[in-house]
Structure 1
Amino acid sequence: MRNYIIYIFLLLSVTACNDKLTLSPAVSLPTEDALTDIAGVNAGISGMYAGMRSVNYYGRNFLVIPEIAADNVYLAAANSNRFGSSFRVTWLTSDGDITSLWNQTYAVILRANNIINSIPTLTDGTDEEKNNALGQALFIRALIHFDLLRTFSQPYAIGGGSALGIPVMTKFAVGSPARNTVDEVYTQIINDLTQAKSLLAKDGSNPYNANAYAASALLARVYLYKGDNENAVTEASAVISSAEYAIVPANDLPDFYNTTGTSEDIFTLMVLSTESLGSDDVGRIYLKPGYGDIRVSPDLVKVFDTADARYKSYILPFDGDSTEYENDKFTGQDGIFGLYSPKILRISEQYLIRAEANAKLGNYTAALDDVNAIRAKRTIPNLVNIPDADVLANVLLERRKELMFEGHRYFDLLRNKQDIVREFCGDPLELNTPACTYPATQPTVIPPIPQREIDVNKNIAQNPGY
């Protein structure tokens, strides 16, 4: 029987010959003509990015689930019946959000693979155009495999390289692929990004398409997750030393997430005002008059110095009620309430990656220097006289504050073997949960492989505990 991944590919991307391959809201070409020339490939790139903007991926859910499953936010007791299983960390194998994430990501991987595998057969296009297209597709293929790996597999620090990863897909093939090991998936990701870096231009002027610096920035993140701290430092340093990017000052923070193309942006998934998801725009899940289901946790509020520009800009009383707090990062772009173009890679994270990697390598002064480079732009004093044993904890705390609500917290806890601990647990304002602490080593802290995939692919193993 056909693998469910392949079924999704067929359904969404290579339908019958008289159908059309949807490449972007404004571009649609017959499948037999789509990727035979450079114009078709460029349209395919638009379609690849469009697929990433889905509400099931970076359009909303992949920014929300890693926050709601951790400790930065909570789901209000009165809510619109969204993200309950993620907040409770009790996913069923039929969970809609998890299944949709799996389906959407593999569908976009196919779009990337179609581009990658068509480049050698193009009838036109310059070498520069072909290299750019190939580099962008390799970058996206690597990013999506990485996102799938960190969602559906144990972190490297817990399961090691021999643990079950996810199926690596580099071409269209009908079959029943088994899960690759975590090491095998990392090898594919790193190879793709290394090749992408060699193909793409070193030009940071356009953050809406992948460039060589974006490939280095993602490599830095990948190496950090893998525990390869030396290479994480190397790649992050390459981006920082390029001088193409700069940490935005405190007075730019209030509108930073509503503004595209800032000095911080390395890779941004551009969402035009005409591409708004309406009620599903990410800001609306946090704010009224949207759903307003998700509130900032007291645990996060209390780690801030109230003089911190991030606190003053992004943590405000919820809907004017001082008993709860709201996330004001995504209030709206282009005058559209809740609209957001995800800043998937930005320069502040590169400083934090280098700081964390250096702290783990014992380079404590260098680690604190990078943290203080961020703090200087956030109106809070430098960290000084920090004992070596406390440097890593301070780096991770700074990372929590800088990257809050951006889809990192759950992954950051687990890859550092830190339990999810909710001190706010039991508050009547939040949806009740079966536990207040979720150990990082608990098998079911990792979501299940969707049951529909298991049903049609007997070669794919389910995660433990399901």
Structure 2
Amino acid sequence: MKRIRTKIAVALLLAVTVSSCSKEYLEKKPYNALPVEDAIQSEADLLIAVRGNYSGLRTIDLYGRSIPLLGDLLGDNTYQSVSNSNRYTQFNQFAQSIADGNALLMWSNAYTSILRSNNIINSSIQETPAIKTYKGEAYALRALIYFELIRFFAKPYTESADAPGVPIVLNFNPTLKPSRNTVGEVYAQILADLNQAYSLLGDYFNSSRFSKLAVKALEARVHLSKGDKTAARAAALEVINSNSFTLVGVDNYVAYWRNAAPLTNKLETLFEVSSDAVANLGFDALGNIYNQSGYGDFLCAPELFALYSETDVRRQLFEAGVRGGVPSIFVNKYVNIATDRDDTKVLRLSDVYLMAAEASVGTDDAAALSYLNAVATRRDPAFTGYSSSGNQLLEDILTERRKELAFEGQRFHDLNRLKRPIARSANAPAAARNIPYPFDKRILPIPQSEMDANPNMTQNGGY
């Protein structure tokens, strides 16, 4: 009897112990991760988070490769060689599907970046000048990523501000199943973030981190995408008139592109996504998709190459050759494919001048010519400059944008915001040489996995 009573007492003690500890046991934190409030507790923690956010931009389907590549492939600057590794084949054919892996990873990696920005922005650490800068960078990065999402996954603002855009998520909530905000709402959020970024950012560091003027350059691009030429011009001129950055000239143009490291001399680059000898994508880096020592899958459209005069320094970034038995023009804009890789240029001063030029057409053609020729005459010492006006001036600016920003991912978005047809090279697949506007496949599909997981999500037309 005593043994039974003893066993009962032990059982009751265990029951009380388990009962009193059960809540604590269930609420234990995972051993391999930290909640945000524990992970970011100091200025040093926040800097690590900011660096991680910048590093995340380097993934293959963000600026590591897909964003800059698709911005030209879906336009008229490049095409897939007959000899290829089967990367981006569906995009070359304008036949991408809801199961496309690149679209899926662009979407998911973009929202991972947004989550990282949100965690920095929403951290409750007492502000110091450094913390204000870190939060300013997070606002700028969130704006940048939302801008890429809205340009790839939604109709242009110039077509409809009320069209379905992408979900705006500003706080961590693992149970959230957001619906799509309108295009106009997303653009409003982007501009609000840029205003916050500008107010918080401090000293310039180097070309691999956002600065106040980089924010203004991005703001100009956003306004131009909206068709707001007045606001675009004002933002662009704030950069130009600061006289802080210098346009790259004919004498140092090739060396500029051969340099693989971030810049501190404020030459041309306002912002770029950095890769180096340690932190890089290896064989999947952007340069390898063009470089013939890498995959070399994508080639320069002959129509683009024909736009460069014999004396244009930009011709030095191309090379004639043969691939798959076909005469080809190789792209040598990104040649650092071993050790220290090329950085991905996102915002350049030449682009700012060309945006100022486009935004000035119709209100100040003389100024538009001045901004246009500031770039054009620096690329071709034999060229005395454009002298056009009106519609021809606009066409000259767009041509110069195509030449200057080739293989940097802007051409497709220019054609979309202007609602122009895409006339692709005869080397492109026959069914994908003339792409009208509008056309469903000029917008990427919402990934099927997102559609399956979120009942509030709607798909783009044609998928």
What residue number does 2:370 align with? 369
Asked if the contact 1:224/1:353 (under 8 Å) is kept, the reply is yes
Asked if the contact 2:205/2:211 (under 8 Å) is kept, the reply is no
CA distance in 1, matches of 2:55, 2:47: 12
Report the secondary structure of 1:317's partner residue. Answer: strand
> Residues 45, 318 of structure 1: CA spacing in aligned structure 2 closer, same or farther, 3 A cutoff?
farther
Deviations 1:337-389 (A, max 9, x none): 8x211121111110011011111x43211111101001221124233431422
> Residues 384, 281 of structure 1: CA spacing in aligned structure 2 closer, same or farther, 3 A cutoff?
closer
Structure number, greater radius of gyration = 2
CA distance in 1, matches of 2:387, 2:291: 40
> Residues 244, 387 of structure 1: CA spacing in aligned structure 2 closer, same or farther, 3 A cutoff?
closer
What residue number does 1:341 align with? 343
> Residues 64, 134 of structure 1: CA spacing in aligned structure 2 closer, same or farther, 3 A cutoff?
same
Report the secondary structure of 2:350's partner residue. Answer: helix
Q: How does 1:68-147 map to 2 (within 5 A)?
A: 68-118=73-123, 121-122=124-125, 127-147=128-148
Report the secondary structure of 1:332's partner residue. Answer: coil
Alignment partner for residue 414 of structure 2, among 393, 412, 415? 412
Matched, 1:452 2:449: yes
CA distance in 1, matches of 2:116, 2:462: 33
CA distance in 2, matches of 1:65, 1:76: 15
Deviations 1:248-302 (A, max 9, x none): 1112122322323151111122212111211111111111221111111111111
What residue number does 1:13 align with? none
What residue number does 1:329 align with? 333
What residue number does 1:44 align with? 49
Asked if the contact 1:204/1:266 (under 8 Å) is kept, the reply is no
Alignment partner for residue 273 of structure 1, among 263, 270, 277? 277
Deviations 1:67-95 (A, max 9, x none): 11111111011100101111111110010
Shift in Å, 1:319: 6.4
What residue number does 1:27 align with? none
Q: How does 1:35-434 map to 2 (within 5 A)?
A: 35-118=40-123, 121-122=124-125, 127-158=128-159, 160-173=160-173, 174-201=175-202, 203-204=203-204, 206-259=206-259, 260-261=262-263, 263-311=267-315, 313-318=316-321, 323-332=327-336, 336=339, 339-359=341-361, 361-380=362-381, 381-422=383-424, 424-425=425-426, 427=427, 432-434=429-431
Could you tell me the TM-score, scaled by structure 2's length?
Answer: 0.89
Shift in Å, 1:317: 1.3
Report the secondary structure of 2:346's partner residue. Answer: strand
Provide the aligned length of Structure 1 versus Structure 2.
Answer: 428
CA distance in 2, matches of 1:68, 1:435: 11
Asked if the contact 2:79/2:301 (under 8 Å) is kept, the reply is yes
| Identity between Structure 1 and Structure 2 (%) | 35
What residue number does 1:462 align with? 459
CA distance in 1, matches of 2:164, 2:384: 42
Moved over 6 A (4+): 319-322
RMSD of Structure 2 on Structure 1 (CA): 1.8
> Residues 376, 448 of structure 1: CA spacing in aligned structure 2 closer, same or farther, 3 A cutoff?
same
Shift in Å, 1:155: 0.9
Q: Which amino acid aligns with 1:136?
A: E
CA distance in 2, matches of 1:319, 1:282: 21
CA distance in 2, matches of 1:318, 1:276: 28
What residue number does 2:22 align with? none
CA distance in 2, matches of 1:19, 1:304: 55
Asked if the contact 1:69/1:88 (under 8 Å) is kept, the reply is no
- Larger deviation: 61-70 or 40-49? 61-70
Q: Which amino acid aligns with 1:410?
A: F
* Structure 1 unaligned spans of 5+: 1-15, 22-29
Report the secondary structure of 1:395's partner residue. Answer: helix
Shift in Å, 1:116: 0.4
What residue number does 2:31 align with? 18
* Structure 2 unaligned spans of 5+: 1-28
> Residues 57, 223 of structure 1: CA spacing in aligned structure 2 closer, same or farther, 3 A cutoff?
same
